[in-house]
Structure 1
Amino acid sequence: MTRPPYEDPDDADAGPPDPERPPAWDPGWEPLPPVGPRPPREPDPVAVAVANASLLGAGYLFLGRRWMFWGAAVVTVALLWLTYSTAEPWCDVLVPLWWAVMTGHGLWLARRRSPAGVRSGGPRVLALGLTVPVLVAAGWVRFDTHGIEATVAAARADGDCAEAVAAQEGVRFRHRLAAAPVAARGDRVVEACERLETAAGYLSTGLTGDPDALETGFERLGAVLREPGNERTVGATLADFLAGLPTEDGCRTMDVVDWLRERESGPKALTGPSTATAERTAPGALDQCADALLADGQWAHAQDMYQRLLEEHPGDDRAAGARDGIRKAGLATQLNHVRSLVTEADSMTTGYCRDPAKYSAAPAHRKGSSRALFVGETEYTKRLPEAWKAGDAAGAALVVCADEPEAGDVVETCRYRDHRGGIGSVRFNRLAVRVKAYALRTGKLVADRTVQMGGTSCPGILRYFEALPSRQAVTPSDADVREAFASVVGR
């Protein structure tokens, strides 16, 4: 109730009336309340707690504590970065623990300010608008991360590294921020697969017969195998390597097989399949390698491989072929040796003539049809008929060694005038050649004799140098040469 203006002219200069002092004439007057700042609104504890549950520290703003808001934001960012950078399993506890601390702390602070529990719809709606999207997004990302991790784990369980790597490629920054430890498990699977891929590269090189590459590849397989959960992926990598056996080259295959057999140390998961594959592959590889060596002229090595096949796998279906291969390799070795000796035989004391050898596949010596190789002194034997000669040791029944011709029996003596006009006598001798014949099939001596070649003697004109010779050789014709050697070769 207001008071009417004063009407007393004597009080006109007294100033405005004192509201605290009631006038005598107004018994119903009441003083006005004092004018000052409005009291602060009491915070809603639920709204504060919900706002803080967003991990943004927004609840502290509802309480008017901005320094707490900024401090909470710094801690939240630090924890998220720590989780992202370390990806340790214990990091999964830090953020939920911090979330619980912030929520509880905000609720406690708000209840201290408002013990009666003020309820307010507006702040709660705002708090829910902040918190629900954050929690839903975080939950969905974690759910998605766990789904990727499950796919990676399933692929690893199936031994499919390619599928595991492809699934892990779906992990993004958001997954590592919200569920770093879960994403890290997939990273470890991918890292193991990458190591297996490197091991597979070494093993692939090892298929060429490189023992160092094989050793490195198996060491890396063993290292990955020692880590739990990698049994299937290691097994798949080993199986891919073993599927490359046998290779196209039998001898390279045997190099790998021998290495696998000799490798006794290592996990059973590696040695078991390797040894089994080696045993299964060895017979065919030995046969293939031996055939290739035989065709390449490496007869001694071919024989060794065929012999190994017979000794190590006596019941194998290839045993008969191996025996035939040993025979062929032996014959080829003999033939090669004989050819070498024949090439070196340029006298009676060299090559085949000094060290005769056999070629078991040579044709048998038959009178009237056998062919021979003529070695040693070939001045006259080269004039023999081509039908008597063998073009190569492979078709020869005999090897005939001829020595240098010497003076044989005297055919006749003729007189000639010398350069001074005197008369002298000249004796004409047959050509005597020592001959040794060997049966090539056995390498044994079948003839050792001296043949004598006749020929024309006492020509009308005798050509000579200096003094008149006392002895002169006859001049044999082709028929004379043939007649002399016919008995040796059975013609």
Structure 2
Amino acid sequence: MKGRTVDETTPREPHDERPREVGGEPVAVPPSALGSERRPEDSESADSESDADSTPRPADTEPVAPFEPDTGPIPVQSPTAAHTAGTGSETVGDVPLGPAPVHWPQPEPTPPPAVDPLAAALGNASLLGIGYLLLRRRWLAVLAFLVTIGYLLVSALVVRNVFFHLVLVLWAGALAWHGWRIAAKSGQVPSPRRQRVIGVAAVLPVLVVVTLVRVDAAGIESDSDAARDGGDCDKSVAEVARLSFAHRLADPPLVARGEHATATCQRLAASAASLKTGLNGRHAALDQGFTGLAGLLKDEPAYDNVVRHVLDDFLAELPKRENCEVADVTQWLRDHRPEGDLLGRAADVVPGLQPKALLSCADSLLARQSLQPALTRYKSLVAMYPNHELTPRAKEGAQKAQWAIELAAVRSALGTSTGRPRYCDAAPPYTAAPPHAPPGRAYVAGSSEFTARLPAGWVVDDVANATVVLCVGPSGEGSVAKSCPYIEIGGLRRRSTVSFHRIAVPVRAIELTSGRVLSDVTLEIGGATCPEFLNTSTVGDVKEKVVPTDADVHAAFAPLVSR
């Protein structure tokens, strides 16, 4: 093996065996540990030096540079590893030796900084965990901040009452106390002014912002209450709509009161809408509206002015409605007087509005031939206000309506179809007609074969102008007026006897005003008999009808019409 030669005449630099500093601390290095720092090249040099002792060194051999010790950090090794060299393991006796572990010294933990207790308390009182940040307790700061945010959200959106909101103040006090306690153990701060400024800078903006938001919310609530007390629920709701999410966080109970005010106004608006619908005379809507107002007054006495405003609008609109609608509404108010002084005054307007409305409604119904409703209105006015100045007119109207109803019943019974009218068997009275007396006026129902020949003054076309109704049936054969012999002309000149019969007409006379039957007879109308010539195809006894003149017809019907 070829090795480097070392000039032994050059004195070696002494190895510095003084204690080294590792990581700022002195470390003692045993001499045996230095041997483990030999490099392979040093081993070869050592072999070469041993060969040089026996072999003369040539004169031209270059001198080897003197040994330069490694100035890097020297690891501390255990005594058992002092004989270890290179990277392989060696054995000393029967004990195997491995690479020596390196023990680096650990730095001592940095003590927490000293924090002024007041600064820490003020920082934590902000609910943002600033005091924990001063104390280098970051996880506590994050936890405090998250708990605060969560509590604010629950307080703003779920549990919005005063007691739950006051717990937030207790939470701020607990954080301040905990920060003070931890800071008190951190040591005395020579100059706490800077830390206290930080604490004040943390809590003061929170207090200012919360105070300003709460003051703004209180102003909005005051404006809403003023609008409500003035009877303007719409303006009250508009004021509540100004509340934002910031107001929810700063004063949840106030926002809850605002939302309750909005719900109450919506409830009131529903009752007002029902009353407006009830102005058409719908009793169900009136009942719903007044029931809603009564319930709202019971639950929310502070809304009496708003209820009064709604009722005033209702009562102001009522006289402007159509007469029949006013009559219906006032009738409901009369029958269902609302309870309480506030709502009860709605019934106080009834005497001033109802009589005129009833009369005007009945007149319009009568003009439209709505006879039964008109009669009902007239009778209601007479019954409820017997001494009112409009009562005589109502009585007259009721009589007219009653007559119109009776006349309609008579006309319906007479009908327009052919055949025997229903009136002839069950005649309804028409009390407006005068009693039947001469000179009577007849309305003919049934056959008009002979009644058409009556004088114009005897018969009328409209039953309303009649005094008697004649139910006339089809004519038939009456009694024999005269029998005459006849001889056939030409042929066998046979003899025949011809009987001339009067004309039989069944007639029922019914008095129009009472509907009673005056007479139920079969009239016999006479006439000319035994003409000089008679055309007939029958031989033997023959039956013929007389030939009545107008005078004959008049004479037959006169007792029924003019008696």
TM-score normalised per structure 1: 0.77
Is 2:401 the partner of 1:329? yes
Which of these residues, 478, 481, 488, is aligned with residue 553 of structure 2? 481
1:10-52 Cα offsets, whole Å, 9 max, x none, are xx98979xxxxxxxxxxxxxxxxxxx99987643444434333
* Residue pair 1:345, 1:353 contacting (<8 A) in 2 also: no
Q: Distance in 2 between matches of 1:435 and 1:171?
A: 91
Q: Distance in 1 between matches of 2:429 and 2:381?
A: 29
Q: Distance in 2 between matches of 1:469 and 1:158?
A: 109
How much has 1:462 moved relative to structure 2? 2.2
Cα gap change, 1:413/1:62 in structure 2, threshold over 3 Å: closer, same or farther?
same
Cα gap change, 1:112/1:317 in structure 2, threshold over 3 Å: closer, same or farther?
farther
* Residue pair 2:510, 2:517 contacting (<8 A) in 1 also: yes
Find the counterpart in structure 1 of residue 459 from structure 2.
Answer: 389
Q: How does 1:19-98 map to 2 (within 5 A)?
A: 42-85=114-157, 86-98=159-171
Is 2:230 the partner of 1:230? no
Equivalent position amino acid for 2:347 in 1: T
1:376-406 Cα offsets, whole Å, 9 max, x none, are 4422112335554312112224434445454
1:188-234 Cα offsets, whole Å, 9 max, x none, are 11112222333344444445555544444444434333323333334
Kindly name which structure, 1 or 2, has the bigger radius of gyration based on alpha carbons: 2
Cα gap change, 1:38/1:171 in structure 2, threshold over 3 Å: closer, same or farther?
closer
Cα gap change, 1:360/1:398 in structure 2, threshold over 3 Å: closer, same or farther?
same
Find the counterpart in structure 1 of residue 469 from structure 2.
Answer: 399
Cα gap change, 1:49/1:349 in structure 2, threshold over 3 Å: closer, same or farther?
closer
* Residue pair 1:347, 1:353 contacting (<8 A) in 2 also: no
* Residue pair 2:481, 2:529 contacting (<8 A) in 1 also: no
How much has 1:107 moved relative to structure 2? 4.1
SS of residue paired to 1:273: helix
Is 2:449 the partner of 1:379? yes
- Greater displacement, 317-326 / 385-394: 385-394
Cα gap change, 1:75/1:312 in structure 2, threshold over 3 Å: closer, same or farther?
same
Is 2:484 the partner of 1:413? yes
* Residue pair 2:372, 2:401 contacting (<8 A) in 1 also: yes
Is 2:502 the partner of 1:427? no
Q: Distance in 2 between matches of 1:116 and 1:345?
A: 121
How much has 1:415 moved relative to structure 2? 0.9
* Residue pair 1:44, 1:117 contacting (<8 A) in 2 also: no
Equivalent position amino acid for 2:154 in 1: L
- For structure 2, list consecutive stretches of 5 or more residues without a partner in the other structure: 1-14, 20-107
Q: Distance in 1 between matches of 2:242 and 2:16?
A: 89
Q: Distance in 2 between matches of 1:271 and 1:442?
A: 51
Give the number of the structure with larger relative contact order, counting CA–CA contacts within 8 Å between residues 6 or more apart: 1
Q: Distance in 2 between matches of 1:146 and 1:94?
A: 21
Which of these residues, 203, 209, 221, is aligned with residue 293 of structure 2? 221
SS of residue paired to 1:375: strand
Which of these residues, 351, 367, 381, is aligned with residue 295 of structure 1? 367
Cα gap change, 1:330/1:285 in structure 2, threshold over 3 Å: closer, same or farther?
same
Find the counterpart in structure 1 of residue 260 from structure 2.
Answer: 188
Q: Distance in 2 between matches of 1:461 and 1:299?
A: 59
Which of these residues, 203, 215, 233, is aligned with residue 161 of structure 1? 233
* Residue pair 1:157, 1:232 contacting (<8 A) in 2 also: yes
Find the counterpart in structure 1 of residue 30 from structure 2.
Answer: none
Equivalent position amino acid for 1:413 in 2: C
1:124-166 Cα offsets, whole Å, 9 max, x none, are 4444444333322222211111112112222222332211221
Q: Distance in 2 between matches of 1:467 and 1:150?
A: 120
* Residue pair 1:168, 1:186 contacting (<8 A) in 2 also: yes
Cα gap change, 1:485/1:414 in structure 2, threshold over 3 Å: closer, same or farther?
farther
SS of residue paired to 1:90: helix
How much has 1:176 moved relative to structure 2? 0.8
SS of residue paired to 1:428: strand
* Residue pair 2:311, 2:343 contacting (<8 A) in 1 also: no
Equivalent position amino acid for 2:256 in 1: A
Q: Distance in 2 between matches of 1:197 and 1:467?
A: 99
1:266-320 Cα offsets, whole Å, 9 max, x none, are 7525751343344554323432443344334453443333222112112323212
Equivalent position amino acid for 1:137 in 2: V
How much has 1:59 moved relative to structure 2? 1.8
Q: Distance in 2 between matches of 1:247 and 1:468?
A: 88
* Residue pair 1:45, 1:106 contacting (<8 A) in 2 also: yes
Q: Distance in 2 between matches of 1:194 and 1:132?
A: 40
How much has 1:429 moved relative to structure 2? 3.7
- Greater displacement, 36-45 / 318-327: 36-45
Equivalent position amino acid for 2:174 in 1: V
* Residue pair 1:359, 1:441 contacting (<8 A) in 2 also: yes
* Residue pair 2:435, 2:513 contacting (<8 A) in 1 also: yes
Q: CA RMSD in A?
A: 4.1
* Residue pair 1:310, 1:322 contacting (<8 A) in 2 also: yes
SS of residue paired to 2:212: helix
Find the counterpart in structure 1 of residue 179 from structure 2.
Answer: 106
- Greater displacement, 404-413 / 154-163: 404-413
Q: Distance in 2 between matches of 1:416 and 1:343?
A: 50
Is 2:275 the partner of 1:197? no
Is 2:424 the partner of 1:357? no
* Residue pair 1:344, 1:350 contacting (<8 A) in 2 also: no
Identity of aligned residues (%): 34
How much has 1:486 moved relative to structure 2? 5.5
- Greater displacement, 196-205 / 156-165: 196-205
Find the counterpart in structure 2 of residue 133 from structure 1.
Answer: 205
Find the counterpart in structure 1 of residue 191 from structure 2.
Answer: 118
Cα gap change, 1:360/1:220 in structure 2, threshold over 3 Å: closer, same or farther?
closer
Cα gap change, 1:345/1:142 in structure 2, threshold over 3 Å: closer, same or farther?
closer
Cα gap change, 1:128/1:349 in structure 2, threshold over 3 Å: closer, same or farther?
closer
How much has 1:80 moved relative to structure 2? 0.8
Find the counterpart in structure 2 of residue 7 from structure 1.
Answer: none
Q: Distance in 1 between matches of 2:138 and 2:417?
A: 112
1:230-261 Cα offsets, whole Å, 9 max, x none, are 33334444444555546856555555444444
Q: Distance in 1 between matches of 2:310 and 2:503?
A: 81
Q: Distance in 2 between matches of 1:338 and 1:354?
A: 10
Cα gap change, 1:176/1:397 in structure 2, threshold over 3 Å: closer, same or farther?
same
How much has 1:170 moved relative to structure 2? 1.2
Is 2:530 the partner of 1:460? no
TM-score normalised per structure 2: 0.68
